[in-house]
Amino acid sequence: MSQLLDIPVDEPDWTIEQSAELYRVDSWGAPYFFINPQGRVAASTGAQAASPIDVVAVVEEARRRGVDFPALIRFQDVLRAQVRRLNRAFHAAIEAAGYENVYRGVYPIKVNQLHEVVDEILDAGREFGLGLECGSKAELIAALPHLQDDETLLICNGVKDHTMLGLMIAAQRLGKNVIPVVEKPKEFVDLKAQSWSKGVVPNLGVRIRLGAAGSGRWADSSGPHSKFGLSVAELVQLVDELELGGLTDRLKLLHCHLGSQIADIQALKQAGREAAQIYASLVKRGVGLRYLDVGGGLGVNYDKAGAEEEIDAGVNYSMQEYANAVVVGIKEVCDGQSVPVPTIITESGRAITAHHSVLIVPVLGTQTREALGTETVLPADAHESTRGLFERARLTTHPADPNEALEAFHEAKRRHDETRTLFALGYLSLQERAIADRAFWSLCRVLLGILEAADLEPPPAEQGELEGLLTDQILCDFSVFQSMLDHWAIGQPFPIMPIDRLDQRPAQRGLLVDLTCDSDGKVTHYVSARPDKSFLPVRPFDSVGPECIGFFLMGAYEDIMGDAHNLFGRVSEIHVYADDDEEENFWIEKIIPGTAVQEMLAQVQYFPNDLHRRMSEIVRAKIQDGVVRPTVGMGILEQYMACLQQSTYCDPGTFGQDAS
Ligand code: PLP
């Protein structure tokens, strides 16, 4: 007996717990982000004795203060909390293993160089002796004045020119703990030329290319063919030279880096042991090493995939397991070689910064597959394919049998194809083609509802096809190239979800598209518990108020890699601290406006004076020709010049308004 199903498929009951599961909030958000009982995203920022902050309240307050969106909310307390967590994890590992030396973290500023971010991390890390790492001349120049005392480490990686080496030597002369890490044999030659001849022999470090390779997307940063570091043969040659000069006590630090976001703890364990063996061998040879720096790589769970899933942007270990693996691995090797254990350095950047910033992106509009309206009348001479689609879509009840739904879908596709062919050949009017399209989409929606309700395992291929056909485009006020370059470049997923009304059923499938005139300007992979990650399940966006979507874990790398595609600039920033004495548990310390049009244009050599001169020449000529009256012409010129001060993004309040 075939069951009957009412349309539309109506399941009003939906809970915040279901939303949390759907968007996998626990897997990427813990311990900082969750959904509060009001169905909004909240941030528990790790500040002591502070209640969670309602993210929507921050957005509303920022709007009241005139912030242009999109905007990045920085939860500064999260940075502090991550610094504490990392240091405490290493202290616990050291204590548990009976490791007879200390841990010193350094923050690699390449991960996020924003001054406030670096300052906050340094301040939070003061009690743990946290230092900095730089990888270029500009980073060195930025970092050097921030060293808090003469013990604070500044590790200098990256390719170093003469000027950069000279500055590091000068800093050492000031008594600063700045360590140039030799990455290329040529740097050692230059270092000698600049210092030995002048009787100043600096402390130095050396980066080695390990045999062990990393795991995950950035695995190429390590292994024997990596572009960074010295081979073992080059290392031995460097040590020979130091020995000849009686200078082996100057080599203080051994460095390796497996690549960012190490996915598998085994890779880290293997590399740590290899580095420790090299360390122990050199110490036994009489080299004065005291630091073993295992680089960055401590990963973050962006999207922890199930075993059978293709994309895995997660890690298979916790922060504590990472610390234990580093400490125990080094200790076992050094104990085995009867060598004192080194001061351990890590250069964790992603793990410290990723969680602290959330990009808030306004929704500008949704492009849906149009449904058949109740008022639509089928023309009397409609083709039989249009009629078939129309009549089936107009049924008020549909058989709930999934096999019948599949059969109906196959037939609907045939009819729909036929209407398109007939239209292309000139046998169908534009109006009839529109009716056929609407009827087809309406029917697809019903059939998908039936298949979803049947919950077939595995779901039929047609279900995926229907999901794809019915995915709506959601136009968002941002640029993928400016705000999430890693998504475009290497397909990295970022957790994305609406920030409010999460107690409503996300019955719609969305594909987020950006403002750029580039078909790649879209988000193609979403973090969700659904097997199909090519769409974001969302509740239908209505026009009740400004709608926003939150992009999470944006704090590492994305902030600084942005590319100015279509001249979209940096987004505004809101720096937030938790505080229970404030009305809404938070206060905004600083607002940094996004890049204005004028600043973006200056980067590509368009300057306001020149633009004004050219535009006014055009306007004056038109006034002279009588095309516009002088007041109108001058008004247009003012209108043009005022645009230069504006944000490069859309003003959601005026988007789609009549410009006249
Ligand atoms: N150290 C070096 C030398 C790096 O190249 C990097 C980035 O790849 C890091 C540290 C930071 O790594 P992560 O952000 O994974 O901690």
Between the CA of 600 and the centroid of ligand 1 the distance, in Å, is 29
In a domain, 376, yes or no: no
Q: Would the CB of 183 count as within 6 Å of ligand 1?
A: no
Cα–Cα distance list, 485 to 396, 451, 471, 564 (Å): 47, 36, 23, 11
Q: Are strands 251-255 and 204-207 parallel, antiparallel or unpaired?
A: parallel
Between the CA of 217 and the centroid of ligand 1 the distance, in Å, is 13
Between the CA of 298 and the centroid of ligand 1 the distance, in Å, is 9
Q: Would the CB of 111 count as within 6 Å of ligand 1?
A: yes
Which has the closest alpha carbon to 405: 415, 417, 392, 419? 392
CB 157 within 8 A of CB 135: yes
Cα(139)–Cα(133) distance, integer angstroms: 9
Do 151 and 239 fall within a single domain? yes
Q: Would the CB of 260 count as within 6 Å of ligand 1?
A: yes
pLDDT for the residue 198:
74
In a domain, 497, yes or no: yes
Cα(546)–Cα(500) distance, integer angstroms: 11
Residues facing 345 on adjacent strands = 104, 293
The pair phi, psi for residue 602, each rounded to 5°, is -60, -30
Between the CA of 135 and the centroid of ligand 1 the distance, in Å, is 10
Q: At what angle do helices 384-394 and 402-424 cross, to 10 degrees?
A: 140
Between the CA of 369 and the centroid of ligand 1 the distance, in Å, is 44
Which has the closest alpha carbon to 472: 413, 513, 515? 513
Question: What are the tokens at 297?
Answer: 């790589």
**Which of the listed residues 153, 222, 257 should we mutate to test ligand 1's pocket, taking the one with most ligand atoms within 8 A of CB?**
257
In a domain, 445, yes or no: yes
Q: Which three-class secondary structure state does DSSP give residue 584?
A: coil
- End position of a domain, from candidates 437, 468, 499: 468
Q: Would the CB of 105 count as within 6 Å of ligand 1?
A: no
pLDDT for the residue 544:
56
Residues facing 361 on adjacent strands = 549
CB 385 within 8 A of CB 418: yes
Which has the closest alpha carbon to 501: 62, 55, 63? 55
Q: Would the CB of 347 count as within 6 Å of ligand 1?
A: yes
Measured from the CA of 259, which atom of ligand 1 is nearest?
Answer: 8
Length of the chain in terms of residues written: 660
Measured from the CA of 261, which atom of ligand 1 is nearest?
Answer: 15
Do 420 and 558 fall within a single domain? no
Residue found by looking up tokens 């009629």 in the block: 387
Do 295 and 435 fall within a single domain? no
Do 59 and 152 fall within a single domain? no
Between the CA of 195 and the centroid of ligand 1 the distance, in Å, is 29
Cα(90)–Cα(630) distance, integer angstroms: 72
- Domain CATH for 146: 3.20.20.10
In a domain, 659, yes or no: no
Do 275 and 213 fall within a single domain? yes
**Which of the listed residues 82, 106, 111 should we mutate to test ligand 1's pocket, taking the one with most ligand atoms within 8 A of CB?**
111
Do 624 and 524 fall within a single domain? no
**Which of the listed residues 82, 260, 490 should we mutate to test ligand 1's pocket, taking the one with most ligand atoms within 8 A of CB?**
260
Q: Would the CB of 108 count as within 6 Å of ligand 1?
A: yes
**Alpha helices by DSSP H, 174-284:** 185-195, 232-244, 265-284
Between the CA of 596 and the centroid of ligand 1 the distance, in Å, is 31
Cα 527–529–535 angle (5° rounding)?
Answer: 55
Do 175 and 121 fall within a single domain? yes
Between the CA of 231 and the centroid of ligand 1 the distance, in Å, is 19
Do 175 and 321 fall within a single domain? yes
- Domain CATH for 440: 1.20.58.930
Do 553 and 438 fall within a single domain? no
**Which of the listed residues 110, 113, 117, 347 should we mutate to test ligand 1's pocket, taking the one with most ligand atoms within 8 A of CB?**
347
Measured from the CA of 260, which atom of ligand 1 is nearest?
Answer: 15
Between the CA of 346 and the centroid of ligand 1 the distance, in Å, is 9
* Half-sphere CA count of 344, side-chain side, radius 13 A: 31
pLDDT for the residue 49:
67
Between the CA of 223 and the centroid of ligand 1 the distance, in Å, is 15
In a domain, 650, yes or no: no
- Domain CATH for 499: 2.40.37.10
Cα 298–301–302 angle (5° rounding)?
Answer: 120
Q: How many CB atoms lie within 10 A of CB 634?
A: 15
List all residues 6 or more positions away from 463 whose beta carbon is below 8 Å from its beta carbon.
448, 451, 452, 456
Between the CA of 261 and the centroid of ligand 1 the distance, in Å, is 9
In a domain, 652, yes or no: no
Q: Which residues of the chain have pLDDT under 50?
A: 1-10, 660
In a domain, 603, yes or no: no
Cα(143)–Cα(2) distance, integer angstroms: 72
pLDDT for the residue 228:
83
Q: Which domain holds residue 589?
A: 1-78+352-366+473-595
Measured from the CA of 350, which atom of ligand 1 is nearest?
Answer: 14
Do 113 and 33 fall within a single domain? no
Q: What is the DSSP string of 333-357?
A: HHHHTT-PPPEEEE---HHHHGGGE
Residues facing 207 on adjacent strands = 255
Q: Would the CB of 298 count as within 6 Å of ligand 1?
A: yes
Q: Would the CB of 555 count as within 6 Å of ligand 1?
A: no
Inter-residue long-range contacts of 333-337, CB under 8 Å, 24+ positions, other chains counted: 333/273, 333/276, 333/277, 333/279, 333/280, 334/276, 334/279, 334/280, 336/280, 337/277, 337/280, 337/281, 337/283, 337/284
pLDDT for the residue 215:
65
3-state helix, strand, coil in the chain (%, to 5): 45, 15, 40
Do 582 and 616 fall within a single domain? no
Between the CA of 409 and the centroid of ligand 1 the distance, in Å, is 51
Number of structural domains the chain divides into: 4
Closest residue (by CA) to atom 10 of ligand 1? 296
Residue found by looking up tokens 């080599």 in the block: 251
- End position of a domain, from candidates 439, 468, 497: 468
In a domain, 447, yes or no: yes
Closest residue (by CA) to atom 11 of ligand 1? 296
The pair phi, psi for residue 177, each rounded to 5°, is -85, 65
Q: Would the CB of 297 count as within 6 Å of ligand 1?
A: yes
Do 290 and 141 fall within a single domain? yes
CB 30 within 8 A of CB 470: no
pTM: 0.89
pLDDT for the residue 225:
66
Q: Would the CB of 295 count as within 6 Å of ligand 1?
A: yes
List all residues 6 or more positions away from 41 whose beta carbon is below 8 Å from its beta carbon.
33, 34, 35, 55, 56, 497, 499, 500, 502, 550
Which has the closest alpha carbon to 104: 345, 296, 322? 345
Between the CA of 243 and the centroid of ligand 1 the distance, in Å, is 31
Residues facing 111 on adjacent strands = none
Question: Quick one: 51 exposed, middle or buried, by C-beta within 10 A (0-12, 13-18, 19+)?
Answer: middle
Between the CA of 349 and the centroid of ligand 1 the distance, in Å, is 6
Measured from the CA of 158, which atom of ligand 1 is nearest?
Answer: 3
Q: Would the CB of 158 count as within 6 Å of ligand 1?
A: no
Closest residue (by CA) to atom 6 of ligand 1? 296
